[in-house]
Amino acid sequence: MSKIIASAGIRGAHKIVDRVEKKYKEALEKWGPDQEVAFPNTGYYLPIIYGMLGIPVAKISDMEQVIERSKSLLPPLVREKVHLPYLGPALDAGMATFFVEECEEAIRYLEEPNLYLAEQEEVSGDNIWLGAADDVIMRKRGVEFVDGSAPGFAAILGTAPTGEIAAKIAQELQDKSLYVFMSTGREDGEKGFADQLVEQGVQIGWNTRLVSFGQSTSSAVFAVGFATRAAMSFGGIAPGDFRKILIYNKDRIFAFVLPFGYVDEEWYANALGAVNYGFPIIADTPIPEVLPTGVCTYEHVVSNIPYDEMVSKAIEVRGLKVAISEVPIPVSYSPAYEGERVRKDDLYLEIGGTKTTGVEWTTSLEMDEVTDGDIQVIGPNVDDIKEGSTLPLAIVVEVAGRNMQDDFEPILERQIHHLINYAQGVMHIGQRNIMWLRFAKQSIEKGFKLEHLGSIIHAKYHEDFGNVMDKVQVKLYTEQDKVEEFLKKAQEVYTMRDSRVEGMTDEDTDPFYSCTLCQSFAPNHVCVVTPERPGLCGAYSWLDCKASYEINPTGPNQPVTKGKVIDEVYGQWEGVNEFVSKASRGNVTEYDAYSLMRTPMTSCGCFECIASILPLTNGVMTVDRDYSGETPSGMKFTTLAGMVGGGNVTPGFVGHSKYYITSRKYIKADGGIKRLVWMPSRLKEEIMDRLKARAEEEGVPDLPDKIADEHVGVTEEDILKHLEDVKHPALELPPLF
């Protein structure tokens, strides 16, 4: 460790600890010791402190022990640039910095309650600061670190020399599918990297992976806190097990720090904290380098890097492997653009939605009927219309392959949404005949045309599904009569597909399929996907897993032979238990597919919903991750997720998908859907059509009206009174215990 960096960082840490201790005492006097503190809608208290020290900071007085612990970690104040023979003292100073900065940010939430935006997905207006990621964001975005669509993140401090350089570096990071976590890093109001992007007309927010955390140096803890929470949430690491959290981040969260401009002592202190996590520093200024390996995978600090080399150098130093396929289109292409929005002022062309007829359909043909790479636009193209126009559109994708099966068609078709959305300046929402496309002026100015939609689909189908198909041709119809013709054909196929999937049962299907995709975050978790019990993330059905196995026979979706039935009601089979035991390395030896009472299926943390028993009501509630309010279990979704996630088997609780709620196998052993007594109103409305159908099938057609929601109450007592008033069938079922 460079003596200059170490001594400067230690001095910076002393300054920060002294400042925060003073701020803590002022806050204690102003609000009192029992004033609650938190990062809003998170279940991990102040996550770095909670993860590294195991201390839950829930009120101001809890900060005292953290500050004292931080002071004890500080090495003696180094006034001069003296030689420090090893890393330990400097790294301790870095961790002390993070601990007290989290306290500082928690106090800032009290001092300036409107500083950070409550709506975190999209940034607009003058306030661009998002603050700590809430747990809805954490779980939604964390999945991308699981499946590799987000290989890592860059934590940026400071201000690039020009806005143009800032925009160029941001785009290069996006093109590599990386998240960009930004803090201004100055207390004097100087514009930072995020401000520069806004001035350049770049969309920022979680939906574009350009995340503006805060305008102070201490807001850097939001990025490190995100990484710490990932280790606890998806890795199942217990709070306080600092060694495992640091190793997890070094090996699995591929992050690095890019400081722009003059690096002061407080920045050095934060840099030392990042090095603890294995996150190297790549600077544009000639700060002292730390080239020997040790804590980080390769070098710790590399400096004086030209701006056109910073991203590639950072990826090299971090040891990050980025797989980017070339897509022949005139705009940037990356998963980072999937959440990009094309707003009215930026709009050149709009298709589908409520404006025009739109449909997308993937179908398989014989080999001699498909010419690979043939892309045709039949009807008006971008050149033939004016800015602000609308067009009807039928995207007809015809594929052929020796291994292609009809079952794969909807799997491929479903990918169109993601694949098109990866193009910069193109927004795609929905699927099938409810698709909606918007094209930004900037994308058209760069030469984007309708045939480039076909180029994307052709290239990515070959890359992602080459094992099952050999040829792809795409036809894009923009004449109304042709669009109507293909809409009718597609709707007939949609109906046939849905009935085919709906008709499958677990009893008649063998094998099932595994999904171990999330084991990189939850090592003990093994999802077994059946026709009637889809993956708990909601993204994988049995057909999806079957297609995935055909595409990648050694991948995370493996066939699981059921074997002898152990318990048909609870959903246990010898073959499934054997697979689960092997795939979890003996940590989980069995579980019930259709119950939450005995040994429910493990949960990784990516679940759409969590079901929990409500003993007083003799029923079960379910809550989805988009609901942030209180529940009758006495716990919010985030707290429940902390109990259930990480690959745990937790009797009385289970993670599941939204679709599973209306499956015939939904907690079948515990009474099924008749046991459901509470769910958020928005979730109920979302699944209402299927819920009504299942209720009719169960002989309780009025069940949807009897299921309580947050408008009825959020305590078991309130729910019980409602159940008695409406005579809910759960009250007549056998006792849960």
Q: Is the pLDDT of residue 238 over 70?
A: yes
Same domain, residue pair 679 and 557: yes
For residue 81, pLDDT over 60 is answered with no
**Quick one: pLDDT at residue 140?**
77
- Dihedral angle sign, alpha carbons of residues 450, 453, 456, 461: negative
- Rounded to whole angstroms, the Cα distance separating 600 from 588 reads 11
Looking at the structure, do residues 409 and 455 belong to the same domain, yes or no?
A: yes
Distances (CA, A) of 320 to 151, 312, 521: 8, 10, 17
CA angle 407, 527, 231 (to 5 degrees): 125
Please state, in angstroms and rounded to a whole number, the distance separating the CA atoms of residues 600 and 609: 14
Same-domain pairing of 544 and 669: yes
Overall average pLDDT of the 200-207 stretch: 90
Judged against a pLDDT cut of 60, whether residue 186 lies above it is answered with: no
C-beta separation of 255 from 318 below 8 A: yes
The answer to whether position 504 is within a domain reads: no
- List the CATH number of the domain containing 620: 3.40.1470.10
Report yes or no on 328 lying in a domain.
no
**Entry pTM:** 0.69
Q: 367 and 458, same structural domain?
A: yes
Kindly tell me the burial class for residue 458, based on how many C-beta atoms sit within 10 Å of its own C-beta (0-12, 13-18, 19 or more).
buried
Both tokens of residue 477?
């119809």
Residue 255 has pLDDT above 60, yes or no: yes
pLDDT band, very low/low/confident/very high, at 82 (cuts 50, 70, 90): very low
| Strand, coil or helix: 212 | strand
Place 210 in a pLDDT band, splitting at 50, 70 and 90. very high
User: Taking residues 43-49, what's their average pLDDT?
Assistant: 92
Q: Average of pLDDT values for 273-291?
A: 87
DSSP 147: H
pLDDT bin (cut points 50, 70, 90) of residue 463 is confident
Of 112-121, 521-530, 618-627, minimum mean pLDDT range: 112-121
Check: CB of residue 3 under 8 Å from CB of residue 81. yes
pLDDT band at 323 (very low <50, low <70, confident <90, very high): low
Strands 179-183 and 210-214, sheet pairing: parallel
Return the closest-CA partner of residue 707 out of 698, 638, 596: 698
- Is residue 327 in some structural domain? no
Instruction: Count other Cβ atoms within 10 Å, centred on residue 350.
Output: 21
Q: What angle do CA 649, 652, 657 make, to 5 degrees?
A: 75
pLDDT at 60 over 50: yes
Query: Does residue 532 share a domain with residue 435?
Result: no
For residue 299, pLDDT over 90 is answered with: no
- The encoded tokens of residue 672 equal 């099924």
| Cβ 217 vs Cβ 186: under 8 Å | yes
Would 67 be classed as within a structural domain?
A: yes
Domain termination site, one of 318, 345, 368: 318
Q: At what angle do helices 63-73 and 3-31 cross, to 10 degrees?
A: 160
Name the band, by pLDDT with cuts 50, 70 and 90, for residue 191.
confident
Clarify whether residues 556 and 475 are in a common domain.
Answer: no
pLDDT reading at 300 higher than 70 = yes
Sheet containing 210-214: order of strands:
210-214, 179-183, 152-158, 254-260, 281-282, 301-302
DSSP 15: H
Do 204 and 240 lie in one domain? The reply is yes
Could you give phi then psi for residue 528, rounded to 5 degrees? Answer: -110, 115
How crowded is the C-beta side of 430, counted as CA atoms within 13 Å?
15
Q: In terms of residue numbers, what domain contains 649?
A: 512-732
Domain-terminating residue out of 469, 496, 523:
496
Give the DSSP per-residue string, 165-189.
Answer: HHHHHHHHHHHTT-EEEEE---SS-
Mean pLDDT over the full length of the chain: 88
What's the CA dihedral at 368, 369, 373, 374 to 10 degrees? Answer: 130
Beta bridge partners of residue 21, listed in sequence order: none
How would residue 20 be classed by pLDDT, with cut points 50, 70 and 90? very high
The answer to whether residue 442 sits within a structural domain is yes
606 and 724 housed in the same domain: yes
Give the count of domains, the chain.
Answer: 3
Residues 603 and 668 in one domain: yes
Q: Residue written as tokens 């003993």?
A: 615
Q: What is the pLDDT of residues 671-701, one digit of tens each?
A: 999 999 999 999 999 889 889 999 999 999 9
In a domain, 323, yes or no: no
Listed residue (605, 500, 654) closest to 144, CA to CA: 605
- Residue 488 maps to which CATH number? 3.30.1650.10
Please report the pLDDT score of residue 546 as a whole number: 85
Residue 369 lies in a domain: yes
3-class DSSP assignment, residue 256? strand
What is the structure's pLDDT at 673?
A: 96
In this model, does residue 1 exceed pLDDT 50?
no
In this structure, of 356-365, 567-576, 597-606, the range with the lowest mean pLDDT score is: 597-606
Q: Both 359 and 307 in a single domain?
A: no
Q: Is there a single domain that holds both residue 575 and residue 684?
A: yes
Least confident of 157-166, 398-407, 575-584, 710-719: 398-407
Task: Indicate whether 84 pLDDT > 80.
Answer: no
Same domain, 537 and 623: yes
- Sign, CA dihedral 630-633-639-644, equals negative
CATH number reported for the structural domain that contains residue 50 in this entry: 3.40.50.2030
Q: ω into residue 511 within 30 of 0, thus cis?
A: yes
**Domain-ending residue, one of 436, 464, 496:** 496
Q: Is 652 left (phi over 0), alpha (psi -120 to 50) or beta?
A: left
Confidence band of 533 (pLDDT split at 50, 70, 90): very high
How many Cα atoms are found within 13 Å in the side-chain-facing hemisphere of 306?
2
Residue 304 placed within a domain: yes
> What are the residues whose beta carbons fall under 8 Å from the beta carbon of 587, sequence distance 6 or more?
523, 524, 647
3-state secondary structure 366-423: CHHHCCCCCEEEECCCHHHCCCCEEECEEEEEEEECCCCCHHHHHHHHHHHHHHHHCE
Measured CA to CA in angstroms, residue 674 lies from 527, 593, 614 at distances of 25, 18, 14
What percent of the chain shows pLDDT beyond 90?
Answer: 58
Q: Residue 228's CB: how many other CB atoms inside 10 A?
A: 30
